[in-house]
Structure 1
Amino acid sequence: MTEPRLNHVQCLGARGLHRMAYWEWGDAANPRVVVCAHGLSRQGRDFDALAASLAGGCRVVAPDAVGRGESDWLPDPMGYQLPTYAADMVTLLARLNAQTVYWVGTSMGGLIGLGLASLPNNPIRRLVLNDVGPTIQADAIARIGTYLGLPMRWGTLEEAADYMLTISQGFGAHTREQWLALTKPMLKADAGGFKPHYDPQIAVPFRAMTPEMAAAGEAALWKAYDAVACPTLLLRGADSDLLTRDTALAMTQRGPKARLHEFADVGHAPMLVASEQVAVVREFLLGP
């Protein structure tokens, strides 16, 4: 598999500038740009398999959201919220000089894409929302909160992979080789071992969320969803605890009236590594 190019872009935040890393595959001059945005505690290399499938006909870009992977950490943890991520992505799109964008977003990355696709004059022409919608189940938030930001350290890649498998059952079945490939970019070398490759402070605003804030956020996200005009594909793990089937079906009836595709034996969230999952996204992005 071809290794991606690693680049950085300077972004403006509330407390100054920070660098956001992004991985890139394919011809940098290709006007067809696919941006792949990852989930809450993940990073851009989650999309290696999808990028490999698309890079022959597209320029594929997968950022590490600030606080993750090769990107800077923020001095104020309350900056780890959707407005910051969306502003950073606008800066990235300007750097890419992208006039036409296809957006693939998993979980948090889907919410970022949803926000951008709802704005007037946005460049997103096709939108893939991977196991996320305006209504997010409280049980899933509680589950993620049990491990997000905890101080962790592992002696070996294998040990880290085994642990991550215990908190990632919803990702579905992967071969050991695939799982190690998904795990390795999640690790940062630390005193002869490894620790998570993200700022543990990303958990601060996550844990500060109140039911009132969640309700206001849900209303705002539905309003944004109803403003999306581009063709939209909604992916759902059939066993997802974050995106219910009722919410998914509602998303097929309003706003962009998303096309829904469910994957059996997967929860939150499909990792777009399995050939079946890659094929569904590829057909939507590159098909007529």
Structure 2
Amino acid sequence: MDALEIVKVNALEVAVRIWHPEAPRTVIAWHGLARHGGDFADFARELGPQWRVLAPDTPGRGLSSWSATPSCHYVYAHYMTLAAAVMDHFGLARVPWVGTSMGGLLGMLLAAEPASAARIERLVLNDVGPELAPEGLAELARYFGVPHRFAHFSELEAELRRHYAGFGIAGDDAWRRLALGSARRLPDGSWTYHFDPRIVEQFVHDTPRDTWADWAAIRCPLMVVRGRHSPLLKAESVTRMAEAQPGLVSHEVPGCGHAPMLDGRDQVAPIAAFLADSPSDEAADLPWWQRLVGRLGR
């Protein structure tokens, strides 16, 4: 990353990783359940220097605060509050949103909710949608809901290679970078993942929604990227998504499950083309006081 900013939201700090901080156009890229904003480093490089990429670490992950009250903070309603705070901090009235898995669902809810819909200029969902395979969700909850401990760093890297095989990551260097950004040392010298194991409590505490109604309510341009072998987003679901939103742009990534890493030209180029029509001045129609807060917070 080229810069890092911390956004305070009540008692929590949200770390926002930034690439190309002086670029004329901005996109928010939000990660999946147990990942962090660092995953978008290659995405930012491929997207190019004309785009400032803002990639927050959701609380409980990466460099952001862990919560003492997961039932309040590790839920989508609070993530929506965090997203609004990030946009306000950077003075963004409207902004394109690229979201992987959980980050895509967050973008979808923001685009569907009347209070925030106008702030999402266009939306890219990476291997996620209003209908997800229950068995895939159950596997996520089982895997990430328990602490993982590794005696050696090499064991953590080997487990990452196994569990994230569906990301389509190629090359030892890429796997090593993923491991370096995913590891946290414990007091006894062993290793674990960077995230708070309690993040999966969102599966327990989150309020159920009619996500198909949310999907139908969205009025901004939409794109979905699907890993061809995804266990979470089925091809039939994408078909149904297009029926509800006829303007949907879809792109399927061969050789990937859940979720494409968005780290190569073949994955990023279709997204770049979709984003090409985004307006260049996201802050122009913000109230003056929100623009001022955004400038002072930088």
The whole-number CA distance in structure 2 between the counterparts of 1:256 and 1:4 is 38
Structure 2 matches for 1:85-234, cutoff 5 A?
A: 85-120=79-114, 122-191=118-187, 192-206=189-203, 208=204, 216-217=208-209, 219=210, 221-234=211-224
Tell me which residue corresponds to 1:8. Answer: 6
Normalising by the residue count of structure 2, what TM-score does the alignment of the two structures yield? 0.86
Identity %: 34
Find the residue that maps to 1:99 and give its secondary structure: coil
The whole-number CA distance in structure 2 between the counterparts of 1:92 and 1:269 is 24
The whole-number CA distance in structure 2 between the counterparts of 1:18 and 1:86 is 14
How far 1:237 moved relative to its partner? Answer: 0.7
The whole-number CA distance in structure 2 between the counterparts of 1:173 and 1:186 is 14
How far 1:272 moved relative to its partner? Answer: 0.5
Tell me which residue corresponds to 1:266. Answer: 256
Q: Which runs of 5+ in 1 are unaligned?
A: none
> Which of 16, 29, 34 is the equivalent residue of 1:41?
34
Structure 2 matches for 1:3-82, cutoff 5 A?
A: 3-12=1-10, 17-28=11-22, 30=23, 32-79=25-72, 80-82=74-76
Cα displacement string for residues 84-139 of structure 1 (whole angstroms, at most 9, x for unaligned residues): 11110100000010123110000000000001112335222121000001111111
Is the Cα contact below 8 Å between 1:158 and 1:180 reproduced in 2?
no
**Residues 135 and 104 (structure 1), Cα distance of their counterparts in 2 relative to 1, 3 Å cut:** same
How far 1:62 moved relative to its partner? Answer: 0.2
Report the residue type matching 1:174 in the other structure: A
Normalising by the residue count of structure 1, what TM-score does the alignment of the two structures yield? 0.89
How far 1:183 moved relative to its partner? Answer: 2.3
Is the Cα contact below 8 Å between 1:188 and 1:196 reproduced in 2?
yes
Q: Which has the higher contact order (CA 8 A, sep 6+)?
A: 2
How far 1:178 moved relative to its partner? Answer: 1.1
Find the residue that maps to 1:146 and give its secondary structure: helix
Whether 1:241 and 2:241 are equivalent positions in the alignment is no
Aligned residues: 274
Q: Which runs of 4+ in 1 moved over 6 A?
A: none
Q: Which runs of 5+ in 2 are unaligned?
A: 279-298
Cα displacement string for residues 58-102 of structure 1 (whole angstroms, at most 9, x for unaligned residues): 111000001100000111121311111111010000001012311
How far 1:189 moved relative to its partner? Answer: 2.6
- Aligned residues: CA RMSD: 2.0
